[in-house]
Chain A
Amino acid sequence: MFSYCTDPSTLGGLTWLSCFLTTGVHLSFYLSFFKVLGLLAVTAPVALAFGFLGAMAARASFAPVSWLGKGYIAIVRGVPDIAFFLFFVIALDQVFEYTRHRILCPDWDQPVRQGNDFIVCQAAKLPLGSSPEWMHETYAFGLAVITFAIVFGAFAANVLFGAMRAVPRAQLETGEAYGMTQRQTFWRILVPQMWVFALPGLSNLWMVLIKATPLLFLLGIEDIVYWARELGGTKTSKFTSYPHGDWRMWYFLALLIFYLLMTKVSETLLGRLMARLTLGQATSGGEAQRKAA
């Protein structure tokens, strides 16, 4: 990157380090941090939407819809989440390919599962065998996002379902007394008031989502864990102009600090948000704020 980096073997100390830390692969490493942030930015709203739909379904008066919502909430309890991550990525991939297979190749007569193989016709492959490398990467990342959204959507649904029940019943009855329909009470009375009850659960969920991002590695994405392992490993002078020993420990220490910083920043911001939301609310938190002022 810098002009003095042409022959690293002559350098020493900090100059060597500054060259080492700005090599092409290291730039990919830094880029993968944005992958993590991107995943967070995409997953959080999608999971919240999934959760909202799940909580709405669980509240429905029509029994099958309510079962569906409650089943969705219940499914992630009792089973290790990483099993879900490993399961959904393959399962979703196969569901997509199978659906396309049925639509695109209706005259295919062999079974899809042959022994240990899952075989669909060429046109149904996702992404198509001929597509460029970035398509494959985007598809894998997309699958990861959907998986995260499904799993975290279930957690969010649980939180929102509880928050909706925590809104005082009298509020809803007042809405009904004013002649509002069910839908109007839901959107105008329930939804605006539930957030203060949902926020502690949702902020907990956000912390968990941050801590779940290294699992991207298990889904086959070239994320920070992948790069830390790659870059940290022993390098001999045969393959690189920056030979070094096994430095994986230091790379993972950097990741550890990155996550601790993320947690600290989130804690501070969410604390402020909570203070704002409780302002003037009829909760013990709101009461404490009123007394302090």
Chain B
Amino acid sequence: MSCIETIQSYAFRSLGFGERLLPRSDFTLCEQVTLIGSGMIWNIYFGVFALLTGFFMATALAVAKASPRAALRKPAEWFIFLFRGSPLFIQFFFAYFLFLSLKSSYPFFGNFTAAWLGALIVLFLNTAAYSAEIFYGALQSIPKGDTEAADAYGMSGWPRFRRIVWPTMLRLAWPAYTNEAIFLFHATTLVFFSGFPAWQQRGDALYYASYFADKTFNPFVPYPILAGYFILLTLVIVSLFGLVNRHLNRHLPANTRPRFKMRMNLIR
């Protein structure tokens, strides 16, 4: 099989299109690059949707945690502690088996044991907790002058939040949030190793990489390919979030803008 044919038959294998059987022997470099790249579709899917949905919940949680009312603050604090204080790996396992037992009593939960929904829910809640902590930190460090200026203009309630507090919070939190986004994408590799089955061998990038490593007993090819894909993805995220950062800080002189610095908060 030439490389073009391999790409045609395996480029969308992770979604179930193309060749049904995975390669069994005589693995070529092309096959490995194509299949692992095909698996990246899942990583991007999980990461993008968890981030998009998690963002809104995180904002709400951060505001709730900063609230003076205990009825709002306590649940937010507990939620954040629950998801930040335990390993994501265990959260995946627990959620999977929870959905499995719910499914047997309520048919409504039928889809929840599939990775595309169940794992997405866990990732959504998880990133919401981590981002909420970042946003909460930013809320606490909004300059006093900004809120005093809002008061002086007679702003309160929703307009004050929407026009003063929220933009400043985002601006301050953005470098740390970029980091959170990077590690969320890294965390998506755990999905198919934690209970959620890869139905018909439709897995993510790490699933295929470990498939090749198991079959060839040679970790020195598939894992560097995977690393290459993730470094590429990281660069894309950094540049996209950098654009947003520039937009958020467009009113500031260039040398006072908060800059993104790669930090490691790693495994969840």
Interface residues of A (CB under 8 A from B): 76-83, 86-87, 90-91, 94, 113, 116-118, 155, 158, 204, 208, 210-215, 217-218, 225, 228-229, 232, 246, 248-249, 252-253, 255-256, 259-260, 263-264
**Bound complex: CA A155 to CA B85 (Å):** 19
- Chain B residues near A94 (CB, 8 Å)? 219
8 closest Cβ contacts across the A-B interface? A263-B85, A80-B186, A252-B94, A249-B97, A211-B87, A87-B223, A90-B219, A248-B97
Measured in the bound complex, the distance between the Cα atoms of B202 and A122 in whole Å is 38
* Interface-side segment among B4-12, B137-145, B246-254, B260-268: B260-268
* Minimum CB–CB distance for B22 against chain A, Å: 14
A259 in contact with B86 (CB, 8 Å): yes
Per-residue A-contact encoding for B156-191, CB less than 8 Å = 1, 0 else: 000000000000000000000000000000110110
Q: Using known A-B contacts A81-B267, A255-B90, determine if residue A260 contacts B82 with beta carbons closer than 8 Å.
A: yes
Within 8 A of A (CB), among B56-115: 81-82, 85-91, 93-94, 97-98, 100-101
Asked whether B210 is an interface residue with its Cβ less than 8 Å from the other chain, the reply is yes
- By a CB distance below 8 angstroms, the chain B residues around A260 are 81-82, 85-86
Contact of A208 among B187, B206, B266 (CB under 8 A): B266
Q: CB-CB < 8 A to B97: which residues of A?
A: 232, 246, 248-249, 252
Contacts of A249 in B (CB 8 A): 94, 97-98, 100-101
Please report B residues at the A interface, Cβ cutoff 8 Å: 25, 27, 81-82, 85-91, 93-94, 97-98, 100-101, 186-187, 189-190, 193, 206, 209-210, 213, 215-220, 223, 226-227, 230-231, 234, 262, 264-268
Q: Is the interface of A mostly helix, strand, loop or mixed?
A: helix
Question: Are B89 and A83 in touch, CB under 8 angstroms?
Answer: no
Minimum distance in angstroms from B143 CB to a CB of chain A: 17
A118 to chain B: which residues have CB within 8 Å?
217-218
Whose C-beta in chain A lies nearest to the C-beta of B209? A83
**B188 and chain A: residue at smallest CB distance:** A80
A268 to chain B, nearest CB (A): 12
Whole-angstrom distance between the Cβ of A73 and the nearest chain B Cβ: 10
A211-B86 contact, Cβ under 8 Å, with A86-B210, A155-B264, A246-B101: yes
Contact assessment for A78 and B215 in the assembled complex, using a CB-CB cutoff below 8 Å: no
Query: CB within 8 A of A212: which of B82, B98, B220, B267?
Result: B267
Given A81-B266, A82-B206, A246-B101, do A214 and B220 touch, yes or no (CB 8 Å)?
A: no
Complexed CA–CA distance, A71 and B85 (Å): 31
CB neighbours of B100 from chain A (8 A):
246, 248-249
* A187–B93 CA distance with the chains assembled, in angstroms: 46
Quick one: given A116-B215, A117-B217, A249-B94, are A211 and B267 in contact (CB under 8 Å)?
yes
Looking at the assembled complex, report how far the CB atom of B29 sits from the nearest CB atom of chain A, in whole angstroms: 14
Q: How far is the CA of A13 from the CA of B27 in the complex (A)?
A: 56
Q: Tell me if B223 and A86 are in contact (CB < 8 A).
A: yes
Minimum CB–CB distance for A12 against chain B, Å: 22
Contact B101 A91 (CB under 8 A): no
CB <8 Å contact, B190 and A79: no
Q: Which of A76, A79, A91, A213 has the most CB atoms of chain B within a 10 A radius of its CB?
A: A79
Judging by beta carbons under 8 Å apart, are A256 and B213 in contact?
no
What separation, in Å, do the CA atoms of A260 and B268 have in the docked complex?
Answer: 13
25 cross-chain CB contacts under 8 A: A77-B262, A78-B231, A79-B231, A81-B267, A83-B206, A83-B223, A83-B226, A83-B230, A91-B220, A116-B218, A211-B88, A211-B267, A212-B87, A215-B89, A215-B267, A225-B89, A225-B93, A249-B100, A252-B93, A256-B91, A259-B85, A259-B86, A260-B85, A260-B86, A264-B85
Residue of B nearest to A255 (CB): B90
Query: Which chain A positions have C-beta within 8 A of B210?
Result: 86
**CB nearest to A76 among chain B residues:** B264
Complex formed: what's the CA distance from A264 to B210 in Å?
Answer: 34
A37 to B28, CA, bound (A): 42
Residue of B nearest to A75 (CB): B227
Contact A214 to B90, CB < 8 A, known contacts A83-B209, A116-B217: yes
> With the chains together, A204 CA to B220 CA distance in Å?
31
Which A residues are CB-close (under 8 A) to B264? 76-77, 155, 158
The closest CB in chain B to the CB of A218 belongs to B193
Asked if B219 and A87 make an inter-chain contact with CB atoms under 8 angstroms apart, the answer reads: yes
C-alpha spacing A80/B47, complex, angstroms:
13
Q: In the complex, A145 Cα to B209 Cα: how many Å? A: 23
Q: Which residue of A lies closest to B86 (CB)?
A: A259
**How far, in angstroms, from A70 to B101 measured CA to CA in the complex?**
49
Closest to B213 in A: A90
Known contacts A83-B209, A214-B89, A249-B98, A78 near B234 by CB under 8 Å? yes
Instruction: List the A residue with the shortest CB-CB distance to B227.
Output: A79
